[in-house]
Amino acid sequence: MAQPPSVTESTASALKIASNGLISSIKASAQTAVQLGEISVSESADAIAAFVVSVVLGLNAMARCGESAEAIRAAAETAAAFLELPIPLIR
């Protein structure tokens, strides 16, 4: 298995701050979307944010591995569709 890239402590700190900001923003958007009935999931905003971040990281990994744009787009569209399904159908 390849070793993860090393980063300085200051870079790691900056990445953590940026990541936390992104997650907070996604949580706020998810809470608003659920309240407005724009997405039909009953999960918490934390769970939605975790899902979205996981998808983004997975799409990034696909791109780095050389997957086609069509495959990446299909994966993104499928993930987005899961936010539209009632939770019992996902589990």
pLDDT digits 0-9 by tens, 12-71: 777 777 777 777 777 787 778 778 877 666 667 777 778 888 888 888 888 888 889 889
pTM: 0.55
pLDDT surpassing 50 at residue 91: no
pLDDT at 77: 85
User: What distance in Å separates the CA atoms of residue 30 and residue 56, rounded to the nearest whole number?
Assistant: 15
Distances (CA, A) of 12 to 9, 16, 42, 52: 5, 6, 33, 21
In the chain, domain spans: 9-90
Contact between 58 and 75 under an 8 Å Cβ cutoff? The reply is yes
Residue 41, by phi and psi: left (phi above 0), alpha (psi -120 to 50) or beta? beta
